[in-house]
């Protein structure tokens, strides 16, 4: 009787070991998570999402208060209008100076002709030449003022564009289609640039991060189809197809969550397997992998 029990126990252990060896790798599912934050600080006026919500790309999910930015925009617009009013006065002044220069130039030519005919004096010519130079300098000064005002207006317009851009950034749009994983801020709170509002991920495809030993590294390659085993409804392993999309270039110690203490001293390579999610796979769920070359 005792001998029979020993034989039965031995068969059971061998069978369990053989069952374990059917799988080439073990790991857990993870998703490419996107953490969404505001680029502008302020009070959150609208934020109507909940964890688990399915959001479409570019859906408006939050609104940050824009009142301060709006007043800054009005202030800059007022400055631009004030400067442009001066610009109009300078234009009128420049037109007058150009007319004066034209009149002086006519007199200068006339006196120059009279001087050649000895009908005018050198003093008269010197005086009109001086008037001509003064008129030219006045025009140059006025044009310089116009250029300065133009530059000021351009600077203010760039500031206005930046404010308008910041106002548009206060409307938070969802960057990718997916499911809300966690809501990290609430309506009515004050947010700051870079502070997380929520995280989201596309759960239609998940990645199984698994680990293989070095002696199996040469038998796998990118793009290879593999069999992924997940827990089924009746406790049985359910097979689904996956594709290897990443293989680590460096070895690491086996993670504590994967193997026993003895096996954690071994060096392994991480791989990622992309799997289509039909709704029965969750983030963090464990799974096993069988390579097609190990049927």
Q: What is the pLDDT of residues 118-134, one digit of tens each?
A: 887 888 888 888 888 88
Q: How far is CA 57 from CA 31, 47, 79, 169, in A?
A: 17, 16, 39, 16
Tokens, residue 5: 């029990």
Angle at 176 between CA 40 and CA 198, to 5 degrees: 50
At 270, the pLDDT band (50, 70, 90 cuts) reads: very high
The CATH number of the domain holding residue 32 is 2.40.30.170
Q: Are residues 49 and 185 in the same domain?
A: yes
Tell me which residue of 250, 209, 257 sits closest to 32, measured CA to CA: 209
Q: Are residues 73 and 59 in the same domain?
A: no
Is residue 4 situated within a structural domain? no
pTM: 0.71
Mean pLDDT (the chain) is 86
Q: Are residues 79 and 135 in the same domain?
A: yes
169, 187, 206: which is the final residue of a domain? 169
Q: Are residues 208 and 232 in the same domain?
A: yes
Is residue 11 situated within a structural domain? no
Q: Are residues 146 and 248 in the same domain?
A: no
169, 191, 224: which is the final residue of a domain? 169
Q: Are residues 191 and 60 in the same domain?
A: yes
Is residue 15 situated within a structural domain? no
Number of domains within the chain: 2
Q: What is the pLDDT of residue 14?
A: 39
Is residue 272 situated within a structural domain? yes
Q: How far is CA 74 from CA 1, 87, 133, 163, 291, in A?
A: 96, 20, 43, 10, 65
CB atoms inside a 10 Å sphere around CB 172:
23
Q: Is 24 helix (H, G, I), strand (E, B) or coil?
A: coil
With both helix axes pointing from N to C terminus, report the angle between 67-116 and 122-169 in degrees, rounded to the nearest 10: 160
Q: Are residues 77 and 212 in the same domain?
A: no
Q: Are residues 147 and 260 in the same domain?
A: no
Q: Are residues 240 and 288 in the same domain?
A: yes
Q: Are residues 36 and 141 in the same domain?
A: no
291: containing domain: 24-64+177-295
Is residue 37 situated within a structural domain? yes
CB atoms inside a 10 Å sphere around CB 12:
10
Is residue 248 situated within a structural domain? yes
Q: Are residues 96 and 31 in the same domain?
A: no
Q: What is the pLDDT of residue 263?
A: 54
Q: Are residues 72 and 55 in the same domain?
A: no
218-260 pLDDT, tens digit each: 889 999 999 999 998 887 899 999 999 999 988 887 776 554 4
């Amino acid at each position: 009787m005792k001998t029979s029990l020993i034989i039965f126990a031995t068969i059971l252990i061998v069978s369990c070991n053989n069952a374990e060896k059917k799988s080439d790798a073990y790991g857990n599912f993870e998703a490419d998570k996107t953490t969404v934050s505001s680029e502008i600080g302020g009070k959150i006026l609208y934020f109507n999402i909940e964890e688990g919500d399915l959001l479409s790309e570019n859906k408006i999910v939050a609104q940050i208060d824009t009142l301060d930015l709006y007043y800054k925009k009005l202030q800059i617009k007022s400055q631009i209008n004030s400067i442009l009013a001066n610009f109009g006065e300078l234009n009128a002044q420049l037109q007058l100076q150009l007319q004066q220069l034209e009149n002086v130039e006519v007199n200068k030519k006339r006196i120059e002709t009279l001087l050649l005919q000895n009908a005018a004096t050198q003093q008269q010519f010197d005086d009109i030449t001086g008037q001509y130079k003064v008129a030219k300098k006045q025009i140059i000064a006025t044009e310089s003022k116009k250029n300065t005002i133009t530059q000021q207006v351009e600077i203010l317009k760039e500031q206005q564009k930046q404010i308008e851009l910041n106002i548009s950034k206060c409307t938070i749009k969802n960057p990718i289609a997916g499911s809300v994983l966690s809501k990290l801020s609430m309506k009515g709170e004050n947010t700051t640039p870079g502070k997380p509002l929520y995280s989201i991920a596309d759960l239609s495809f998940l990645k199984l991060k698994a680990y293989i030993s070095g002696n199996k590294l040469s038998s796998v390659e990118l793009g290879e189809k593999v069999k992924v085993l997940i827990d089924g409804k009746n406790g049985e392993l359910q097979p689904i197809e996956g594709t290897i999309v990443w293989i680590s270039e460096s070895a690491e110690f086996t993670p504590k969550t994967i193997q026993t203490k003895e096996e954690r001293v071994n060096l392994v390579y991480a791989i990622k397997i992309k799997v289509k999610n039909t709704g029965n796979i969750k983030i963090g769920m464990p799974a096993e992998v069988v390579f097609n070359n190990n049927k």
